[in-house]
Structure 1
Amino acid sequence: MSTPNRKPVLGRATAGRATTKTTESEALSTPPAAAKSERDTAPQAADSAPKDDPVTPGYGDTSYLPGDVIIPGSAVKLALQQIAQTQGLLQAQTWGTGNVVSGVASVVPQMFLAEAAWALNTWQNSISGAQASVANTMGVPVAHELAQLSLLATLMLPTAAGLALNAANLTVPLVGVLGSPTAASQATGLIGQAKTNSMVYSAHLLRTVNTTQQIIYISVNGGPVIPVQLDTGSSGLTILAKYVGQKDLGPPVGTGTAGYGSQSGGVYYRYTEYETTVDFGSGATTSKFKIHVVDPEYEAAFDNYGTAGSGDVATLGIGANVGSGPTLNALLPGELKDGVMMYQNIIGSWGLVVFGPNPLPSKGKVDGGPVGNWMVKINDGQKYALKGNVDSGGVGGYLPFYVVPDDARVGTSLKPGTKVSVYTADGLTLLYTYTITAGTDTTSSNSPQLYSSDTDNTAAPNTGNIPWQKGPMYIDYGTPDRLGATYFDFF
């Protein structure tokens, strides 16, 4: 593992990796000064700005989401239109043509299509209310448990719609056999499109290692299923060639250099870009996008940096407004592209990743996914406004010295027993709070590392993994500015 005080290039620390792309012509002996160029306006105190923090515009202001603006709900709306079109098609080309036999055969697929439409419409009309019921019954025994069950049942409705569409697809060929082959063929095509667009949630196992690292399993270009580290503090996929399926991979589409860690203690390498797909399983497969495949002469350095004890073999950055992109989750089918929820340590070290709209109610959000404005308070001191990274891979995080009273710190860390509270940008909603623990010979303190711009102009405010340990967190890709939002969920 790397040293605890290592500063991230783009929000990664300790065992993490965060990628920043530089030009191919740059020599690797001169690591790219990526973090400095990625920072935005320096953190400002609630009352007055510190004089030692430089201003570097741009941090968190670039979207790495590919394609157009994501409009949540649009895929389900299209699926409902396709289901209705299929129903009208079967009606018109069987009963409407006087073919009673094929009309009778169409009754069964029509029944399943109606079931799918009901499930999707009910989900659309019920999800907000079910989430509100969970939020409104917090702390109320029995009522809260019933609200949770109701929410879970609502979340299952899109799955029921998918099963009904599968059944419709299996039964519609009989319509063709009994006299309406054109209707059956066209209906099959429409049902297939509706199945894709009606994909709303896709849940996958998440494993947490070393307290702060989240592992999920994927297949790249049809290759082996491999463990990769999820990271909200970066974007794009960086991987070794041996883990990428070679069949039909296609020619390279670009090259470049990149790095993880800091200029003083990271790893820098060359990579070759290929366009391919990533499969999470259960139909959650992206369309083609560019991945970074580490060049052979840099594989050992890349593989050895920050992976000891974690078991991951690649880094999958899922941030919307930080990294080098593209953010592949935005290329998933249906509503799965809307965002991603990470809920770690539900049972032991295991949790869930859920692609799709936010399935849970939220207590508040940070505008930016994950870089945005928030406020921090140490003990009972004043609140300071910061712009920083809500980074699942940020380990203990980073805070500027000026937000910490002298009596609450020792060296570049907070004293054990110090209370850290993080609020929304307006300071009105407490998002989470935690107390600094003492480190031991085998376990590090959960203190953020403190920095001064006089001595480290590559650091930026970072929550670290702490909020992700507190409960479910959701990165929303469906914001009009395409910079995302970070929601602090509860259940």
Structure 2
Amino acid sequence: MSYVIAAPDLLGSAATHVAGLGSSLSEAYAAAAAPTTEVLAAADDEVSAAVASLFSEQAKLFQELTAQAAAFHGQFVQAVYGAEGAYAAAEAAAAGPLQTLQSDLQALTAYSPVKYLTGRPLIGNGVNGTTDAQGAGTPGGAGGWLYGSGGSGGNSTATGAPGGAGGAAGLIGNGGSGGAGGWGALGGAGGPGGLLFGNGGPGGTGGPLGVGGLGGNAILWGSGGAGGAGGELAPGGAGGNGGYLIGNGGPGGPGGILGSGGFGGKAGLVGAAGLTGANGGSASVALTYTTENDFSTVQISVGGGPPITTEVDTGSGGLVIPVTQLSPEVLQNLGPATGTGEVDYGGWGKFYYTEYKTPVNFGNGISTAPTTIGVFTRVEEIDGNGNWVNIPQSDWSNPKYAISADMGVGIGAADDQGLISPLRDLPGGLGQGFLMNEPAGQLQFGPNPLPAVTSVDGGWYSTTLDVQISYDGAQSAIQPITYEGSGNAIIDSGGLGGDLPKNFVLPSTLSGYSEGDNLPLGTMISVFTPDGTELYTTTVTTATGGNATNIGSIADGFSTGFYPFLQGPIYFSYSPAGLGTAIWDYPPSV
């Protein structure tokens, strides 16, 4: 059996050209008709008559042949036109059944019992996974048997729950992407590509301490899926393998903070192996200081909300956020309230808050486990009559109050009403301490990355420090300030210009200063450890901001204020438990 492929439009064009050729031939035949119809004798003799008779016979033969050629040409043109019509009719006849078949296949995709009998359609993409009531991601559905990509795996929110796996593709299609893992759990694996053609799906992101999901493999022809990114302190997932015949290996997933990158996938017979993923970066976020505030801030977010500018305060414990900075959707995402409390900052106001348990996200891939935070809904101040009165929420942004989010990172006595530093709920070794490196503009989590110069034992909230004040050529004695139930020494990044207790014996040049006064510009403050090792010396200037050191009550004790943080990096360890240790990573300078 032979098969012929014909294009009706081309046949029609050819027939038209052939017909035009026939017209040209007919014109030539007509022009030659008269000269070739009969030939007269050249003279009245027998030879001339014989020659004329011969040419006349040839002329008649030519006329007969041209008539036959014209008839054949006409028949040929009609045959070509006929073939065009026949093929066009056949094509039109075939179009109907093909359209019907196409409609039937489309209908089969939607209504075929194949989907109900096998769990997947003939044609179509797999259903995406979801997060179930227990917080576990469900796997993505498989793509259609003939054609279709796998569905994406669902994300997990529960501790220890891996992300949902991506669905497998059909004969042709790409594998679905894996879902994100919960705390300490793997990211979901990417789904395999189509049996004939298609790429593997990318792996899901691992939860904190969780490895990134494996990239899906291609089967015959296609590239492997990329490995998922690792969670905090965890490596990235390995890339999927390329198709057996043709395909590149998928790239390894990037490592989480301090984690290594995943291995690249293998190539097929033709293709290139996947690249190893990039290693994770340092466990640090941007730290910003402004003289307008005289304290440093970082960006945090809770409940999936936008970043919130938040003070980093070593002189208190626990994260509190004004309700005015959280949308109703974010409040709902925080989950049910777990308690209430109240905190007093600097004696000027009382902050009443509702407690929630939720992760705190610092960006850069750094997040805590669910930790208790406070959302304050009411703030009070003391009026002129000594009564506590409410401050309307509409006035919280007034520069007089400048009420904002505060992250207390202190320990021991700095823990406020059941709230603790959220940094202590960071995963693994990230929660053992933090480095405030204001000159470099970084807040870094984990062990001390710099060589220690001097340490302050006995905590940093209620500790013992020695202080000397110098002004206008006179110096005070170096005097210890200890915690005795009323006064104490605090290394306090939230203390603005700092405080000096009124029982401190000032130099003679400052004898007229008393409680409530600020130390004048040019005053030099030197701070030492109890063994006489100098920590830092600073001078009160306009360059250090508008908050000069204040002479306060004995109960207020001594607060460093922000001065030492401007000079160099200081590391704070949460060990020993309940006290902590402050470590100067820079030498003193005058």
For residues 434-484 of structure 1, what are the alpha-carbon distances to aligned partners after superposition, in whole Å with 9 as ceiling and x for unaligned? Answer: 2233x69x96363x212354xxx4x1211111111111111111x133311
Q: Equivalences for 1:21-32 in 2 at 5 Å?
A: none
Letter in 2 for 1:391: D
1:290 and 2:372 correspond? yes
- Identify the match of residue 165 of structure 1 among 225, 228, 235: 235
The aligned counterpart of 2:524 is 419
The aligned counterpart of 2:85 is none
Asked which structure has the greater RCO (Cα within 8 Å, sep 6+), the reply is 1
2:524 and 2:378 map into 1 onto residues whose CA distance is 46
1:383 and 2:478 correspond? yes
1:259 and 2:344 correspond? yes
Residues 216 and 227, structure 1, Cα contact 8 Å, conserved in 2: yes
For residues 211-234 of structure 1, what are the alpha-carbon distances to aligned partners after superposition, in whole Å with 9 as ceiling and x for unaligned? Answer: 621111011121111111111111
Cα 1:364–1:409 change in 2 (3 A) is: farther
SS at structure 1 position matched to 2:363: coil
Cα 1:251–1:161 change in 2 (3 A) is: closer
1:260 and 1:452 map into 2 onto residues whose CA distance is 15
For residues 2-40 of structure 1, what are the alpha-carbon distances to aligned partners after superposition, in whole Å with 9 as ceiling and x for unaligned? Answer: xxxxxxxxxxxxxxxxxxxxxxxxxxxxxxxxxxxxxxx
Structure 1: segments with no counterpart, 5+ residues: 1-158, 179-187
Query: Offset of 1:386 from its aligned partner?
Result: 1.3
Letter in 2 for 1:360: L
SS at structure 1 position matched to 2:495: coil
- Identify the match of residue 462 of structure 1 among 540, 553, 559: 559
- Identify the match of residue 551 of structure 2 among 424, 442, 450: 450
Q: Equivalences for 1:339-358 in 2 at 5 Å?
A: 339-346=433-440, 351-358=441-448
1:285 and 1:410 map into 2 onto residues whose CA distance is 51
1:164 and 1:234 map into 2 onto residues whose CA distance is 31
Based on CA coordinates, which of the two structures has the bigger radius of gyration? Answer: 2
**Bigger fraction of residues in helix:** 1
- Identify the match of residue 577 of structure 2 among 435, 460, 481: 481
**Bigger fraction of residues in strand:** 1
SS at structure 1 position matched to 2:463: strand
- Identify the match of residue 312 of structure 2 among 226, 230, 233: 230
Query: Offset of 1:305 from its aligned partner?
Result: 5.3
For residues 154-182 of structure 1, what are the alpha-carbon distances to aligned partners after superposition, in whole Å with 9 as ceiling and x for unaligned? Answer: xxxxx99989932xx224x659x99xxxx
Residues 226 and 313, structure 1, Cα contact 8 Å, conserved in 2: no
Cα 1:301–1:485 change in 2 (3 A) is: farther
1:237 and 1:230 map into 2 onto residues whose CA distance is 9
Cα 1:232–1:200 change in 2 (3 A) is: farther
1:236 and 1:303 map into 2 onto residues whose CA distance is 24
The aligned counterpart of 2:162 is none
Cα 1:409–1:449 change in 2 (3 A) is: farther
1:204 and 2:308 correspond? no
1:193 and 1:230 map into 2 onto residues whose CA distance is 21
Cα 1:333–1:485 change in 2 (3 A) is: same
TM-score after normalising by structure 1: 0.54
2:569 and 2:257 map into 1 onto residues whose CA distance is 31
Letter in 1 for 2:501: P
1:270 and 1:417 map into 2 onto residues whose CA distance is 39
Q: Equivalences for 1:87-106 in 2 at 5 Å?
A: none
Query: Offset of 1:488 from its aligned partner?
Result: 1.4
The aligned counterpart of 1:372 is 463
2:528 and 2:481 map into 1 onto residues whose CA distance is 10
Cα 1:269–1:399 change in 2 (3 A) is: closer
TM-score after normalising by structure 2: 0.45
The aligned counterpart of 1:134 is none
The aligned counterpart of 2:538 is 434
SS at structure 2 position matched to 1:246: helix
Cα 1:288–1:371 change in 2 (3 A) is: same
Cα 1:309–1:165 change in 2 (3 A) is: farther
1:307 and 1:353 map into 2 onto residues whose CA distance is 28
1:420 and 1:357 map into 2 onto residues whose CA distance is 30
Letter in 2 for 1:426: D
Letter in 1 for 2:300: I
Query: Offset of 1:414 from its aligned partner?
Result: 3.0
SS at structure 2 position matched to 1:376: strand
SS at structure 2 position matched to 1:431: strand
Residues 303 and 313, structure 1, Cα contact 8 Å, conserved in 2: no
The aligned counterpart of 1:335 is 429
Query: Offset of 1:301 from its aligned partner?
Result: 4.6
Superposition CA RMSD, Å: 3.9
Residues 307 and 313, structure 1, Cα contact 8 Å, conserved in 2: no
1:306 and 1:234 map into 2 onto residues whose CA distance is 22
- Identify the match of residue 270 of structure 1 among 352, 357, 363: 352
The aligned counterpart of 1:361 is 451
Deviates more, 1:358-367 or 1:324-333: 358-367
Counting aligned pairs with the same residue, the percent is: 32
1:392 and 2:489 correspond? no
Cα 1:237–1:395 change in 2 (3 A) is: same
SS at structure 1 position matched to 2:453: strand
